[in-house]
């Protein structure tokens, strides 16, 4: 799964760097909570993006389902985060989520 913030370049240009860092950190923490709850692993933080594996270190027949649940959970978590950010900083975040659900080669 990959998720990132929509319009983060514009947001970074509009905010003080420390405020932007705090907003991105809050976004990452919100995502991390959902991902870890569903036994996913953040493989990489790529700026405002997260690359997440649900089939590591071992695959399961439920990996795709957990990835979809995580994507939906992240959308809900960002809505909750937005309630706080709108009140504190007049900021509203949007997130984009992509999920690869194809077959996995487990090797022999």
For the chain, what are the domain ranges?
2-98
pLDDT digits (tens, 9 = 90+) for 10-61: 999 999 999 999 999 999 999 999 999 999 999 999 999 999 998 776 677 7
Give the pLDDT band (50/70/90) at residue 74.
very high
Answer whether 15's CB lies under 8 Å from 88's CB: no
- Cβ neighbors of 11 (< 8 A, separation 6 or more) are 5, 20, 23, 91, 93
Looking at the predicted structure, is the pLDDT value of residue 9 above 80?
A: yes
Provide the pLDDT for residue 63.
87
Work out the end-to-end distance of the chain between its first and last CA atoms, rounded to an integer number of angstroms. 25
- pTM (2 d.p.): 0.87
Domain made up of 2-98: CATH architecture = 2-Layer Sandwich (3.30)
Q: Label residue 101 by pLDDT band (50, 70, 90).
A: confident
pLDDT value at residue 103: 67
Average the pLDDT over 62-86 and give the result. 95
Concatenated DSSP letters of the chain: -EEEETTHHHHHHHS-HHHHHHHHHHHHHHHHHHHHHTT-EEEEEETTEEEEESSSSS--TTHHHHHHHHHHHHHHHHHHHHHHHHHHHS----EEEE----------
Mean pLDDT over the full length of the chain: 91
67: number of Cβ within 10 Å: 23
């Amino acid at each position: 799964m990959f998720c990132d913030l929509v319009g983060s370049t514009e947001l970074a240009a509009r905010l003080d760097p420390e405020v932007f860092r705090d907003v991105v950190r809050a976004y990452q923490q919100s995502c991390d909570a959902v991902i870890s709850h569903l036994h996913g692993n953040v493989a990489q933080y790529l700026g405002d993006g997260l690359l997440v594996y649900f089939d590591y270190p071992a695959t399961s027949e439920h990996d795709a389902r957990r990835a979809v649940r995580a994507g939906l959970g992240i959308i809900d978590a960002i809505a909750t985060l937005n309630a706080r950010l709108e009140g504190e900083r007049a900021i509203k975040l949007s997130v984009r989520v992509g999920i690869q659900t194809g077959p996995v080669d487990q090797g022999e």
